């Protein structure tokens, strides 16, 4: 795959024709199993996983990806042992503090999606600082899903719309798909074109249920700490050859509509 890797190690260009997905969402799974296979504690996998996050973010714009959404911690992940959760929370905070400068320099705009209130206060503060600092950037929109759960997001949107209706600001009949999408954490952001999940698991785990209604899915066997930019490029290349029909039928080999 070195034919699209430049000298400084960046991935560039497309291998074959076809559009790169504009918005890619990734369920970064398999850190724990990967580490355990090496006889290491699960948290070792989370540390290596952060290295991959760094590389994938750096590779994304050069691969034509404009929006990258990474699932980092779910509303269900609190069910894990206290020790693992606390390591993850510290890892997120350290990641943000260490990376903010580089991400800003690379013109990445960071936005967090999920329930902030449930996160430690010091983490919430650095999250807000990172969003503020990178607000004006336009090379890549990076959405990090932290304490994110799609069902909670949908319930929150329904409550918000119901409150608007109860206050007389919105008639129930005026609530349509656009209004609903606008009440989600991802308001204003185009839906993902492709959702990738690593580690061989084939499930959604409460991720972007509304937004990924018409996304393509790619399930890869490698665990997240093994997910290199080369592998990312290969998955995107497979996506380029897929035909998205959105309920219509194919016309001359292209999506009808
Ligand atoms: C994904 O890896 C990272 C998080 C969910 C935080 P896992 O920790 O789920 O690793 P496995 O799936 O147990 O191997
Ligand atoms: C999904 O992975 C959540 C994240 C990647 C952050 P999990 O490992 O938590 O999902 P399940 O429990 O296997 O469905
Ligand atoms: Mg997992």
Task: Tell which one of 32, 46, 73, 226 to mutate to probe ligand 1, the residue whose CB is within 8 A of the most ligand atoms.
Answer: 32
Q: What pLDDT is attached to residue 252?
A: 63
Residue of 3, 8, 29, 237 marked catalytic: 29
Q: How many CB atoms within 10 Å of residue 249?
A: 8
pLDDT in tens, 80-103: 999 999 999 999 999 999 999 999
Question: Which pair of structure tokens corresponds to residue 171?
Answer: 């008639």
Helix, strand, coil fractions of the chain, as percent rounded to 5:
45, 15, 40
Q: SS3 of 172, please? A: helix
Residue 10 maps to a domain: no
Q: Model confidence at 11, in pLDDT bands (50, 70, 90)?
A: very low
Cβ of 157 below 6 Å from ligand 2: no
What mean pLDDT comes out for the span 129-144? Answer: 98
pTM above 0.85, yes or no: yes
Question: Does residue 104 contact residue 133 with C-beta atoms inside 8 Å?
Answer: yes
For residue 245, name the pLDDT band (cuts at 50, 70, 90): confident
Total domain count, the chain: 1
In a domain, 228, yes or no: yes
In a domain, 186, yes or no: no
Q: In this predicted model, what pLDDT tens digit does every residue of 104-118 receive, in sequence order?
A: 999 999 999 999 999
Strands 67-74 and 140-148: parallel
Q: How far apart are CA 136 and CA 119, in angstroms?
A: 25
User: The domain spanning residue 200 has which CATH number?
Assistant: 3.40.1180.10
Ligand 2 atom 11, closest CA:
205
Q: Specify if 182 maps to a domain.
A: no
- Answer yes or no: is 75 within a domain: yes
**Residue 18: per-residue pLDDT:** 59
| Range of the structural domain that residue 127 is part of | 20-149+191-240
Is 177 a member of any domain? no
């Amino acid at each position: 795959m070195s034919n699209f890797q430049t000298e400084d190690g960046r991935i560039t260009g497309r291998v074959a024709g076809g559009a790169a997905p504009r918005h890619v969402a990734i369920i970064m799974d398999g850190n724990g199993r990967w580490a355990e296979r090496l006889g290491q504690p699960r948290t070792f996998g989370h540390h290596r996983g952060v290295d991959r996050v760094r590389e994938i973010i750096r590779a994304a714009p050069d691969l034509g990806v404009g929006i990258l959404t990474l699932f980092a911690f779910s509303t269900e992940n609190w069910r894990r042992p206290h020790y693992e959760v606390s390591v993850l929370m510290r890892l997120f905070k350290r990641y943000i503090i260490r990376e903010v400068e580089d991400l800003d320099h690379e013109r990445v705009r960071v936005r967090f999606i999920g329930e902030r209130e449930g996160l430690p206060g010091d983490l919430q503060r650095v999250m807000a600082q990172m969003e503020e600092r990178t607000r004006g950037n336009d090379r890549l929109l990076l959405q990090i899903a932290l304490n994110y759960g799609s069902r909670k997001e949908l319930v929150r949107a329904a409550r918000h719309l119901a409150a608007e209706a109860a206050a007389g600001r919105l008639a129930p009949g005026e609530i349509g798909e656009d209004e609903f999408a606008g009440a989600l954490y991802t308001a204003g952001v185009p839906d993902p074109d492709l959702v990738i999940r690593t580690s061989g698991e084939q499930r959604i785990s409460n991720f972007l249920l509304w937004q990924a209604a018409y996304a393509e899915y790619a399930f890869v066997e490698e665990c997240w700490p093994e997910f290199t930019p080369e592998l990312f490029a290969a998955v995107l290349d497979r996506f380029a050859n897929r035909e998205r029909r959105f309920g219509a039928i194919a016309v001359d080999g292209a999506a009808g509509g």
